[in-house]
A and B are shown apart, each in its own frame.
Chain A
Amino acid sequence: MDEELESHMSNDTRRRTRITVAAVLLLAGAIAVPVANGAVTDQEGGDAKGQGKHCTLNAKTGETQCFESLSKATGLPDSDRLLDAPDAEAGKAAKTSEARAGDEPVASSGIDTKAEGDIIAATIFKNTKYGGGSLTITNTALCESDDEVDFQIDLDESWKNKVSSIQPWGRCTLNLFSEPGLGGERDGPFDELTPNIGDAMDNRAQSISFS
């Protein structure tokens, strides 16, 4: 493909310019700190708190998609196979046993790998204890885990003032803000599973920083 591209470029200055611009834009897009708007469409209407709509937000592109379940939203299929687990003593024996039922894959797609470019950065929920609807935010890379803001999102009307529990993923530390653009009051940092974000910011967050 590169050879073909080079061949065309050597004979077509205008095409070369177009490709140069496209390449620079592509690279710039990969480097720039993305700011996305959590524009979750609510086509079903009446998105009452606690109803189970599960959406994803690509923080880089701002694209959102909604699904019936969190597993469908993340693209990580539920493990629907359940194997009886032996009791403690039998469990110890199983640890050294050659025949271990769990050695078989859950399903052909039961084990999934996410590569760079589709990293889960956080899942936020409308109810405490990870109940109700969810919004999974993805990014192109792991968070840097320093004081700098890697990227931020403004929550749209579907999610404003409705976040009650959060799960940071991908080494991210989240801070919640009571106004868009990381304005107003701040609560955080949240760097681990938080089934109840507490009174300070419960149902008040309108923007989130990731660092």
Chain B
Amino acid sequence: MTRRKKLSMLVIAITTAGATALFPATAQAEEEQPTTRELLEQCNDGTDVCVFHPSGAPVDSMGEAHQVGDSAFNCTKDLQRSSVGWSDTTGESNTVGVSMTAEYGFTDLFKVTIQASYQHSWESSHTEEQQTNVEVKPGEVGWITREAAMEEVTGTYEMHFGDKFYGHYIWYVPFTAKGPKADAPSTKTQHTRKMTKKEKKQHCG
């Protein structure tokens, strides 16, 4: 082999090595992809490293207004103050629909991270009970609605695998969870309206 040819081959080898290091092949895109849940179930149960990185502070919001307790129908000729008893449970939702109370590595990690980052625990469920008064005029119906205080956390699970998992050593998995905000008051609202003919017939004889 001539010196010139040896040099040529060396250049090609270096070029190939450099290009591989900086611009890895992207053929994985066409390969089968794991589901979010399939990935998350590997967290601390098949990974070398699993870390949940919050993307920012929790975002507070109010849940959808919905009726709690029974409606109060005033069939008398006087203004009535009715006491409506109710119990309402607010649950959680997230990217994979798995309760944070379920025993998975990613659920434990999420709860620990929330506690360490924001100094409050994650609540998967919160139940509130109350007697709420509502003043109902004659011929009207009254009811109570409640909006629960919620918090939403968005972030990314960083997962490292000792052996390639679906073609990669590292996976970044976006994740969002929304649940009742601990120790935050909900909004209760009293509503009234005139009864319909059907309601009058049904409830007032």
Tell me the minimal C-beta distance from B171 to chain A in angstroms: 6
Bound-state Cα–Cα, A86 to B89, Å: 12
17 sample A-B contacts, Cβ–Cβ < 8 Å, listed by A number:
A10-B5, A16-B8, A78-B55, A83-B94, A85-B124, A88-B124, A90-B99, A94-B97, A94-B98, A102-B35, A102-B40, A102-B95, A103-B35, A113-B167, A116-B24, A142-B170, A193-B116
Listed in ascending order, the chain B residues whose CB lies under 8 Å from chain A are 4-5, 7-9, 11-12, 14-19, 21-24, 26, 28, 33-40, 49, 51, 53-57, 91-102, 113, 116-118, 124-125, 154, 156, 158, 160, 167-168, 170-176, 178
CB atoms of A114 and B172 under 8 A apart = yes
Question: Do A5 and B15 touch (CB < 8 A)?
Answer: yes
**Residues of A at under 8 Å CB distance from B?**
2, 5-6, 9-10, 16, 19-20, 22-24, 26-27, 29-30, 52, 69-71, 74, 76-88, 90-92, 94-95, 100-106, 110-117, 119-120, 123, 125, 127, 129-131, 134, 140, 142, 167, 169-171, 192-193, 195
Complex alpha-carbon distance, A165 and B99, angstroms? 29
Whether A87 touches B124, Cβ cut-off 8 Å, given contacts A79-B95, A111-B33, is: yes
- Known contacts A23-B15, A70-B55, A77-B174; decide if A91 and B117 are in contact (CB<8 Å): no
**Chain B contacts for A2, CB-based, 8 A:** 12, 16
A-B contact count (CB 8 A): 202
Q: A102-B37, A113-B168, A195-B116 are in contact. Are A84 and B18 (CB under 8 A)?
A: no
